[in-house]
Amino acid sequence: MSKPDILVMYPTRPHAMAKLQDAYTLHRYDEARDREAFLAEHGPKCRGVVTNGHAALTRDMLDHLPNCEIVACASAGFESIDVAALADHGIAFTNTSAALYDDVADAALMLTLAARRELVQAHAYVQTGAWGEKGPYPLLSSLAGKRAGILGFGTIGAAIAERFAPLKLTIGYTARSKKDVAHRYFADPMDLADWADILVVIVPGGAETDGMVDAAMLAALGPTGTLVNVARGSVVDEAALIDALEAGKLGSAGLDVYRDEPQPDPRLTGLPNVTLYPHHASGTVETRDAMAQLVVENLAAHFEGRSLLTPVSAPA
């Protein structure tokens, strides 16, 4: 029996690519010089797509994929993929939230602690000899007893809450719908920011959440507040964030994601009250391997007629 044809829009880990190569005929759109022509030529025979959140997959592109049955995305975020169009075409869609939530939640915890306890600045204080010259480092603010607001309470938001609870943080959250958890629910993100000392952003990117964390929300967090963003740079009004941090209207920020990656605004990266990470929240060997393996297994499940491991349903 001939192998199903698969369009590779974005490659995954080498060992997983080798497995895909064995099981399918791969068409390397990611390596094509003229991608439009490549899609027009090879798209019609492809029954599946391997991609991740970095590659666009639009409704128009689906015109060239009339036989596509499944899109396996190797990331959690998929705002560049038109999932409503996939649903309209009856194309199954999978992502890899299930493989990466621990690492991303760890990164949120790390950035929260580092920003609040000034790890980077304190490290420099020891390293440069300032400690010996100037004396003890200034006193900071305790985490225990503070309020942590989690903006987005899906797979990763819930994992962040699990890590925050033992730190004696009081947890509140916003999501589109109230969850069956003991934490306080805020329907309005502004009310969450007003209530919280620390606001962790973990909603999806895309048009619906673009600029959701605005100047008013940052002002509500206030001069002793901390913003942590492990979602997408687009969710935060970055110009407002820079202004607030510069003016001391917001205390600190811990950021994994930015409007411009991989070269974030130097006005932001030059600030003393930021802790920065290079969009690497899921960047461990174990997790990236698990994400790649999920792509392999979802495709195998589909073509063997089994249930998908991590299907994503289309938006209502």
Least distance from ligand NAP to the Cβ atom of residue 130, Å? 32
Residue 186 tokens, joined: 């805020």
Torsions phi, psi for 75 (to 5 deg): -135, 175
Among 68, 203, 221, 274, binds ligand NAP (CB under 6 A): 203
**Span from 24-32, 82-90, 126-134, 226-234 in contact with ligand NAP (CB under 6 A):** 226-234
Among 80, 94, 97, 293, binds ligand NAP (CB under 6 A): 97
- Catalytic residue at 59? no
Residue 135 zone, left/alpha/beta (φ > 0; ψ -120 to 50; rest)? left
Residue 5 tokens, joined: 């044809």
Q: Does the footprint of ligand NAP cover residue 264 (CB under 6 A)?
A: no
Contact between 28 and 5 (Cβ < 8 Å): no
Chain-centroid distance, C-alpha 236: 13
Going by C-beta distance under 8 Å and a sequence separation of 6 or more, which residues neighbour residue 266? none
Q: Does the footprint of ligand NAP cover residue 176 (CB under 6 A)?
A: yes
Among 5, 118, 256, 297, binds ligand NAP (CB under 6 A): 256
Q: Does the footprint of ligand NAP cover residue 157 (CB under 6 A)?
A: yes
Q: What is the CA radius of gyration of the chain?
A: 22
Tell me the torsion sign for CA atoms 287, 289, 294, 295: positive
Q: Does the footprint of ligand NAP cover residue 279 (CB under 6 A)?
A: yes
Q: Does the footprint of ligand NAP cover residue 281 (CB under 6 A)?
A: yes
Contact between 170 and 148 (Cβ < 8 Å): yes
User: Which helix (H) or strand (E) covers residue 50, if one does?
Assistant: strand 46-51
**Span from 44-52, 203-211, 213-221, 285-293 in contact with ligand NAP (CB under 6 A):** 203-211
Least distance from ligand NAP to the Cβ atom of residue 284, Å? 11
- Catalytic residue at 279? yes
Residue among 280, 282, 229, 236 at smallest CA distance from 259: 236
Among 6, 236, 257, 295, binds ligand NAP (CB under 6 A): 257
Q: Does the footprint of ligand NAP cover residue 311 (CB under 6 A)?
A: no
Site residues (CB under 6 A) for ligand NAP?
76-77, 97, 100, 104, 152-157, 174-177, 202-205, 208-209, 230-232, 256-257, 279, 281-282
